[in-house]
Structure 1
Amino acid sequence: MTLRATKEEKAAVAEYLEWQLDETSARKIMVKHVEKIVAENITGDRYEVWNCITNLGSWWVVTPMMNLYTQRDFKSADVVLTFHVGMVGRVMSRDQAPLAPELKDAFSEPWRKWEDAVETMRVAQEAEDFQSVGMRLREAYVSMLKMVADEELVPEGVDKPQAANAEWLNRLAEKIADGSSNARLRAYLKSVGKETWHHVSWLTHATNATRFDAEIAVANIAHLISVFTVAMLRNHNGAPKRCAECGSYQVGSGICARCGWVDESHVPPEPRPEPSPEELVTRLATPHTLTSDINTFVSPQDLSTESTARDHLG
């Protein structure tokens, strides 16, 4: 079924086809027919599939993140749409905060502003758009500085940095990576903080900024927040328990899973109290409510069989 499409939409698809195919073919591309045949809202985004006929064969063009697929490989619009949605999901997953949710909470506001920058980058097309990405990333950086700013990080006799001064990350690095054994980590944290600020600040003023520049800056800020988060957890948790015999970290409940060493100093947690006879009677007297009924399960094969039977009866 052909869906309504404006002349501008058709022209944009035809132009995209010509641009893509001209680069890969020695023959001049001629777009003969373009029609929109699918439009679906999937996970909050509107996806469209275009059926395109050229002198070089038939193609599908799918948006958003416009891409083309030969109809030799994808026989139907449904199949190509499913593939494209999956591909977009995998690409977009690269732009998700690279930390587990519980770790993201350490810098929740900077991560939120970072995600805003990622959203801006996804629709950015011109240099000024990529500069806007830099501005949002700089906001994420400043937000991080404000979160770590704490007078306790400032040694006695040293002037306190301003609220949005990158020096706060140096002060934090001194605290969470102190001592001679952490000298390299401390230097790395300071370097990451300094160079990330310089690069993001450059992007906000780069009149020739490209998508690659924006992607690098997005990755830099994500790395900055991630590495400081993990360093903070490392400092807070301290060194993990190691086996006194083989040095393995696989020590649980006072026993080394690798060599069997037993930690004589291990104190097991208090056991859970057993329920009293009265509590057991009360629990057993309470009717058990099933969370699901397996008898209602219908497999895809069952559903197909039932549908066929209904068609015959009808």
Structure 2
Amino acid sequence: MEMSEAEERRIRDYVNSQSPADDQAGLVQKVGSRRILGRERDLYDVHCAESRWWVITDPTNLYSQDDFPEMEQALIFHIGLQVFMAERERTELEEEQLEHVNTAWRRFSQAVDAMNTAEESEDYQGVGIKCRDALIALVKTHADAEWIGDLDERPKAADFKGWANIFADRLSDGRMRGYLKAIVDKTWDLTVWLQHNSNATPLDADIVIEATGQVLQVMSKLMRQRENGPTPRCPKCESYRLEEDIEQVMEPEPGFYESTVCGSCGWRTEREFTSLRDHFVGTNVLEYLAPPATGPSDRMGGQKLPRPRTEAPDPEGTG
């Protein structure tokens, strides 16, 4: 499959950042792309000097072909690992999303913790109470936000439906607004129903948790979109496939050339140079330039684990 120069560089830099200096990436081939559970995964075959890896994206990770001879094996392991991590990290959100629902999400996390230890119907009713409290915390956090604007009549502080419908009007339109108002209405009714259901079951509580988490995440994403503005598109072909292309150079001065490139038509902005010193303000440049450490801690079950920056461990922050 074809891939852009920026895409190839991103994968190559990622593999190199996870490999010792004497086993750097050579041939990088894109061998497929699969949409599974609504998420696109790109698949690459990477030949290093002494090893060979499958690289799979979203999140980006690599798997030794000695342990996974077939690409499908690595993909199945990758998806399984994601499912496991998703369950373990059920209460984790990206920092930018968490910013908008911090208090509500803390209460939602308490609901998940309560669910994990619940045994009787009254315990599952308690999960409903905590989910309801999380929804109320969301509206209380943003009731005085600038983007709410002037209101003829303000709902009561605990009127989740009233406030959430105002949020929907301010943050969305069209079908998205209709969807948001629908899940707001039904989720609130579910939490109240669970709270008073003396025959509550584990399934009841689990579904209410899923519904509550969905409302909080959708609200958070729409608030974040309002801050960031519309998703940028290529001015030439209107594609959304805009990528940051960052190339490291050592001459005539160590630094990086940065530009934005369209993965669809190849349109590119003018390249801008940033010196190494300016790029790493506040960091230990010498530590970055040192070769990556290797050893048993780098591997788990044949998988070469990323260092702390899983999605973007390379210096350019692109892969």
TM range (shorter): 0.5 to 0.7
Does the 8 Å CA contact 1:111/1:140 hold for their aligned counterparts?
A: yes
SS of the equivalent of 2:125 reads helix
Matching of residues 69-218 of structure 1 within 5 Å: 90=84, 93=87, 96-97=90-91, 99-150=93-144, 152=146, 156=150, 158-166=152-160, 167-177=162-172, 182-218=173-209
* SS of equivalent to 1:243: coil
> What's the CA shift string for 1:247-287, capped at 9, x where partnerless?
2222342432322224xxx5765734879xxxxxxx9xx9x
* 1:127-151 Cα shifts (integer Å, max 9, x gaps): 1111111111111111111112126
Higher share of residues assigned strand: 2
Cα contact 1:151–1:160 (8 A) shared by 2: no
Give 2:106's aligned amino acid.
R
The Cα of 1:122 is off from its aligned counterpart by 1.5
What per-residue deviation string (whole Å, max 9, x for no partner) do you get for residues 62-96 of structure 1? xxxxxxxxxxxxxxxxxxxxxxxx99x93982661
CA distance in 1, matches of 2:273, 2:241: 22
Q: Distance in 1 between matches of 2:292 and 2:271?
A: 37
Q: Which residue of structure 1 aligns with residue 262 of structure 2?
A: 256
Among 255, 269, 274, which residue is 1:271 paired with? 274
* Residue pair 1:98, 1:222 contacting (<8 A) in 2 also: no
Q: Deviations along 1:230-255, whole A, 9 cap, x unmatched?
A: 11122221222222333222234243
Give distance in 1, aligned partners of 2:96 and 2:103.
14
Report the Cα offset of residue 223 of structure 1.
Answer: 0.4
Letter of the 2:131 counterpart: L
Counterpart of 1:215 in structure 2: which amino acid? Answer: D
Whether the aligned pair in 2 keeps the contact of 1:134 and 1:204 (CA below 8 Å) is yes
CA contact (8 A) 2:100 2:223 kept: no
The structure carrying a bigger helix percent of its residues is: 1
Q: Say what the alpha-carbon RMSD is for the aligned residues.
A: 3.8
Contact 2:121 2:200 (C-alpha < 8 Å) held by counterparts: yes
Q: CA contact under 8 A between 1:98 and 1:226: conserved in structure 2?
A: no
Structure 1 alignment gaps of length 5 or more = 1-85, 276-282, 300-314
* Kept after mapping to 1: 8 A contact 2:231/2:240: yes
Amino acid aligned to 1:271:
T
Structure 2 match to 1:219: 210
Identity %: 30
| Correspondence for 2:44 | none
TM-score, normalising length from structure 1? 0.53
- 1:28-52 Cα shifts (integer Å, max 9, x gaps): xxxxxxxxxxxxxxxxxxxxxxxxx
1:241: which partner in 2?
Answer: 232
Give the Å deviation of 1:293.
Answer: 8.4
User: Is the 1:121–1:130 contact (alpha carbons within 8 Å) kept by the matching residues of 2?
Assistant: yes
Please tell me whether the aligned partners of residues 127 and 205 of structure 2 are also in contact (alpha carbons under 8 angstroms). yes
TM-score by length of 2: 0.52
Hey, what's the Cα distance between the residues in 2 that align with 1:246 and 1:103?
Answer: 30
Larger Rg: 1
Q: 1:207, 1:293 → 2: CA distance?
A: 57
- The residue number in structure 1 matching 2:59 is none
Q: CA deviation at 1:98?
A: 5.8
Read off the aligned partner of 1:148 and give its amino acid letter.
H
Asked if the contact 1:242/1:248 (under 8 Å) is kept, the reply is yes
Which secondary structure does the structure 2 equivalent of 1:271 belong to? strand
**Which of 237-246 and 208-217 deviates more?**
237-246
Cα distance between partner residues in 1 of 2:232 and 2:177: 23
Which amino acid in structure 1 is aligned with residue 158 of structure 2?
A
1:152 CA drift (Å): 4.4
Task: Tell me the distance in 2 between the aligned counterparts of 1:153 and 1:107.
Answer: 16
Where structure 2 has 5 or more consecutive residues not aligned to the other structure, the ranges are 1-79, 244-258, 279-283, 298-319
For 2:145 and 2:225, how far apart are their aligned partners in 1?
A: 22
Q: Is the 8 A contact 1:148 1:168 kept in 2?
A: no
**Is 2:104–2:135's contact at 8 Å kept on the other side of the alignment?**
yes
Q: Which segment drifts farther, 207-216 or 158-167? A: 158-167
